[in-house]
Amino acid sequence: MKEEKLRELLNSLSMTEKIGQLIQVPGNMLNAEGQELGVRDELGIGEELLKNVGSTLNVVGADQVRRVQEEYLKNSSAKIPLLFMADIIYGFRTVYPIPLALGCSFEPSLLHRLCAATAQESVAGGAQVTFSPMGDLVRDARWGRCLESTGEDPYMNAEYVKACVEGFQEGLSEEGAGKGIASCVKHFAAYGAPEGGRDYNTVDMSERRLRQDYLPSYKAGVEAGCEMIMTSFNTVDGIPSTGNRWLMQDVLRKEWGFEGVVITDYAAIAELIAGMTPPPKVASGVITKLATAATYPRGTILCRSSGTGGDGKLKILGTTAGSNETLTPDCVLCDEEDIGTEEDVNVAVYVMGCFNEDVVTVGAEYDITQADRDALRERGIYLGQVLD
C-alpha cells in the first residue's frame, strides 16, 4: 500500500479502531482451534474489541489462517487484514535442536540457514511474524528458559541473534519473493538474569554490566534490521521494562535508532498496572501513556491481550473510546505532559500499517534441504523430529 493510501486509511479510522489495531489476542478468541492462552471474560475483551484487533498469535496452518482472516474481515468495518504471529523458536514443520544446542555449533552461518528454512515453512503455513530470536544472555541454570538462549557469552549471543534475524528476514527482500518472516527480538531487556533463576523476578545489576553483557545481543538484532522488539516482564533498576522510559526511549529509540514496532510480552501492561500501589486510575490494558511515553513518541507499543475494563469496552486513560474519544490526563502513572495524545496513537497505527501492507498469503509447503541436513550432521547436530 502506498503511503498516500495508508494515511488516507489512517485518517478514516475512529479512535476505537486505531486503538484496536494496537491490540493482539490469541487465536482461540477469534474462534481458531488451538492453544488456550487466556479467558476472554477475565480479560474483559468484548465484541467491539474483537472486531478491531490488529493481530493474533498462534493460529497454526494455512487453512486456519485463511478461515480466521476471512471471518475477521467479514466483521471488520475498516477491513484491515490481521497480522498472524507465533512463537516459532526452533523450527516450524521441521523441528531443530533447541537454541542452546545450536549455540554449541559456534557457527552463526548455520543458524542463518536454519532460520531462513524455518521462515519459508512458516510463510507457507500463514505466519508473518515470529517471536524469535531470544537474545537473553543466560548464566543461571535454574532459570527455566535457558533452553531458548544460545548461551552465556555476550559476543556469541550477539552474533547468533544477528544471524537469526537476517535468516528469518532474508526472504522479505524483493529478491526473496515473499519467503521471509518478520523477526521479533526478545525480551528487552535482561530477562535472562532474574534473581534466583525465578521467572519474572527482579533483575538488579549495574549499568556497566547491563551494557557490557546483556544489551549487546538486542543491539545486534536492531542493527541486523529486526522489525520488532518485545519488552520483558522483569524490572530493570526497579522499573518494569515495559514502562521503563530509559530502556525504551533513551536506549532503544534514541541511542540505537530503532524505528520498528515494540510489542509487550503477553498481558505485560495488565500485569504492570496490577502491580502498582496505589492502583492507577486507568483501565488494565489498551494503550496507556505509561507504555507510549516509555517507548518514545514515535512508535508505540502493541499490547498483547492486556484486556480492557471489566465492562468489555475499550479504555483510553480512563476514558471510554467511542463515547468520548478525548484523551484526558486521568492517569497517576506519569506526569501530565506524558499523557498520550491522538498523534501518538496515529504514529503507532501508521508504523503498524507500514508493517502490515498485504493480506497474508500462504503457499506450498517447504521442507529443509538435504544440504542443510548434511550440514547439521557434520556438526554432530541431528534433527529431533519432522512433523507431518
The per-residue pLDDT for range 147-171, each reduced to its tens digit, is 999 999 999 999 999 999 999 999 9
CB 241, CB 252: distance < 8 Å: no
What share of the chain in percent tops pLDDT 90?
Answer: 46
Taking alpha carbons only, the member of 384, 373, 367 closest to residue 124 is 367
What share of the chain in percent tops pLDDT 70?
Answer: 66
CB 112, CB 68: distance < 8 Å: no
Question: How far is C-alpha 302 from the chain's CA centre?
Answer: 8
pLDDT attached to residue 316: 35
Q: Which of 167-181, 264-278, 288-302 has the lowest mean pLDDT?
A: 288-302
Residue 206 has pLDDT above 70, yes or no: yes
Taking alpha carbons only, the member of 35, 131, 57 closest to residue 87 is 131
pLDDT attached to residue 70: 92
Quick count: other Cβ atoms within 10 Å of Cβ 59? 26
Segment 294-324, tens digit of pLDDT: 433 333 456 765 444 444 333 333 333 333 3
pLDDT attached to residue 377: 61
Segment 92-118, tens digit of pLDDT: 999 999 999 999 999 999 999 999 999
Q: What structural domains does the chain harbor?
A: 1-86+259-359 (no CATH), 89-256 (3.20.20.300)
Q: Which of 83-87, 131-135, 359-363 has the lowest mean pLDDT?
A: 359-363
Segment 3-28, tens digit of pLDDT: 888 888 888 998 888 888 888 888 88
Of these residues, 265, 338, 344, 372, which one is catalytic?
265
pLDDT attached to residue 33: 58
CA distance 157 to 216: 8
Which pLDDT band, with edges at 50, 70 and 90, does 372 fall under?
low
CA distance 192 to 234: 9
Q: What is the 3-state secondary structure (H, E, C) of 137-178?
A: CCCCCCCCCHHHCCCCCHHHHHHHHHHHHHHHHHHHCHHHCC
DSSP string, 63-79: HHHHHHHHHHHHH-SS-
Residue 330 a catalytic site member: no
Mean pLDDT of the residues in the chain: 77
pLDDT attached to residue 296: 33
Whether this model's pTM surpasses 0.95: no
Q: Which three cell numbers stand for residue 352?
A: 503498524
Which pLDDT band, with edges at 50, 70 and 90, does 221 fall under?
very high
Segment 375-387, tens digit of pLDDT: 656 655 554 443 3
Taking alpha carbons only, the member of 201, 71, 166, 181 closest to residue 129 is 181
Q: What is the mean pLDDT of residues 232-258?
A: 92
Q: Which three cell numbers stand for residue 157?
A: 549471543
